[in-house]
Structures are given as structure tokens and as C-alpha cells.
Amino acid sequence: MAQPHARPGEPFSVTALAAGGGGERTTALIKGRQVEVVRLVLAAGKRLREHRAPGEVTVYVLAGEVDFGVPGTVHRMRAGDFIHLEAGEPHSLHARSDFSALVTIALGAPA
């Protein structure tokens, strides 16, 4: 059964999203015409290979610890840390512990 997306104009609590690992999955919370918001979950030791997004990206770490690779450096990020990426900027992740984050991806202007 698909998880419903958050509805426009209705509050949505992200505090319950902090736990990571334990069989929890990455889930799209909002998929709009201009923005997508995803709760990203990685179990300790898991990686996301280098990839790019078509629009700007923000990542807010909810729980855990991750090595966040961007060209030329790797940032160790923990709960409460935030990063912004330009459109198309390559990045990779390696979860140092069970990890969850709130990821926002700009999709572009509506047609």
C-alpha cells in the first residue's frame, strides 16, 4: 500500500521521522510540480553512489551520522546539520550509523 503524500495546506510533523534503519524505508513525502520532499533513510554502512539532481537540493539531517561527499571534500554530518547543493552538483553518501534526513529537491517551474 502506497504511503499518502502530505496534503497542501495541512501541517505535517517531521519529528517522528528522526529514527533511521530498523527496516524503515526512504519515502517521498511531497511530490509537487516544483518540489519534491523525501525522507531519506540509510542503515549503518549503506552508501548512495555519486549522483546528481536536476534542481537545487537541501539536506537536513534528522538522525544519525553520514559522510556526505561533494567534489573535492567529504563532510561528516550529524543530526541538525544542513547542506544546500546547486542544481546538477554531484554528491554521494555513506551512512556511519543508522541515518535519516529530510531532502528537498527543486523540480523547476511548472509548465
In tens, the pLDDT along 17-70 reads: 666 556 678 888 888 889 999 999 999 999 999 999 989 999 999 999 999 999
The pLDDT tens digits for 88-111 are: 999 999 999 999 999 999 997 655
Taking residues 1-11, what's their average pLDDT?
68
Q: Where are the domains of the chain?
A: 27-106
CATH number of 27-106: 2.60.120.10
Between CA 26 and CA 111 the distance in angstroms is 28
* C-alpha span between 101 and 42 (Å, rounded): 9
3-class secondary-structure state, position 91? strand
Rounded Cα distance between 28 and 76, Å, is 24
Burial of 59 (0-12, 13-18, 19+ CB in 10 A): buried
